[in-house]
Structure formats: structure tokens, C-alpha cells
Amino acid sequence: MRRSPLLAAATILLGASPASAQIMEMNGSWELNPSKTLGPSPVQETLVFRSTPGTQRYTMTSREQDGRAGLNEWEIAYDGHDHPTATPGNTASIRRLDDKTEFVVNKRNGVITSTYTRVLVDNDRTIMSVGRDAEGKVMWVRVFEKQ
């Protein structure tokens, strides 16, 4: 039985691993723009990406209205599977949706706590991040500008 070229191409594409397909243009430092952000947000938030092929290194620092500091960081495989973060009991998974969009799932003790979709826009100078709660309800839309 002879395979068609279309079937062969589809097989190759389906078997290709997106593990090293992260969006390298996100590397660098990104600062929250509160005036363009919708919904609750910290008064200051910085994202730093230092990714290499197959791995995303991510650090988020923030400061709330009451002065509390926030920190979230990881160095995990970009493969859509759960990986531990720096916070005990927490995991994150990341997968690429298209050439400018990625999807992140955060869990605590195996239960989804939030998801967010990051989209690189404005000639790779802006990240729009849509955060959802565990039920999928939009909590916020945050806009980060490259530093």
C-alpha cells in the first residue's frame, strides 16, 4: 500500500515535538503598563524571560497596593506537562499555541488555580496576558512592555 505525500507530511507534522518551539522573542524584561491593564493588578509587576531551546526560565516580581511583594519563578521544559515551580506544591505547564501565543496552566497540589494566555503583539514590543481563574472566568488582561 502506497502512502500519499499529503498523509506522509501530516504524519511528520503530528509527530514533530514542539518542546523547543517557545517564543524566543519573549526573552528579556517586561514591565506592566497599569494604564493599559484591565481588572485587578499589582501596582508594579516585572516579567523576565531567559529561555533556551526547550526550556523557559521565568521570573515574575510584583508589588501590591499594600506593599506586599510577590514572586513566582520557574525553569521548566516547554512541553505542555506539569513541572514544579519554586513554590512548594505548585506546578506550571507551558505550550505554544501559535508563533506569537503561549498557554500557561498553574496548579497547586494538582488542582488548577489559574491559566493565562500570553500573546506577543506590536512588533514583539508588547505582551498581552489574559488571566483566568480555575473555572475559566477572565480575571484580568495585563499589558507588559519590553524594557
| SS3 category, 89 | coil
d(CA 106, CA 120): 20
* Contact present, 119 and 103 (Cβ < 8 Å): no
Query: What's the CATH code of the domain at 49?
Result: 2.40.128.20
Q: What is the pLDDT of residues 30-86, one digit of tens each?
A: 999 999 999 999 999 999 999 999 999 999 999 999 999 999 899 999 999 999 998
- Is the confidence at residue 17, as pLDDT, over 80? no
Domain count, the chain: 1
- Is the confidence at residue 15, as pLDDT, over 70? no
pTM value is 0.82
* Structural domain boundaries, residue 28: 18-146
Give a yes or no: residue 6 inside a domain. no
| SS3 category, 3 | coil
Beta strands in 9-125 (DSSP E): 28-32, 44-49, 55-63, 69-77, 83-84, 90-98, 101-108, 111-121
